[in-house]
Amino acid sequence: NAVLAIGFETWPYLHFRHTGWSICSIGYHPDDGRRYVDDGHGGREYSSPFGVGNIVDCGY
């Protein structure tokens, strides 16, 4: 199974951890619909999970 995390991290980042799990990072994990901010232990509810066949839009 492939997993995607969308977010931002500062340098140097830990390439073996998902975005949002490391200090100074924020990430959205679509597999569980949760937002992670410096938190590798559960995050917070953010939206519904999504997966194969869904379209992702990153707007500004």
More confident site: 56 or 2: 56
d(CA 36, CA 38): 6
Per-residue confidence at 4, pLDDT binned at 50, 70, 90?
A: confident
How many CB atoms within 10 Å of residue 57? 4
pLDDT value of residue 59: 72
Q: How far is CA 6 from the centre of its chain?
A: 5
pLDDT value of residue 60: 63
The pTM is what? 0.77
- Strand partners for 45: 34
Q: How do residues 11-57 score in pLDDT, each as one tens digit?
A: 888 888 889 999 999 999 988 999 999 998 989 999 988 888 888 77
Burial degree of 3 (CB within 10 A; 0-12, 13-18, 19+): exposed
- Strand partners for 50: none
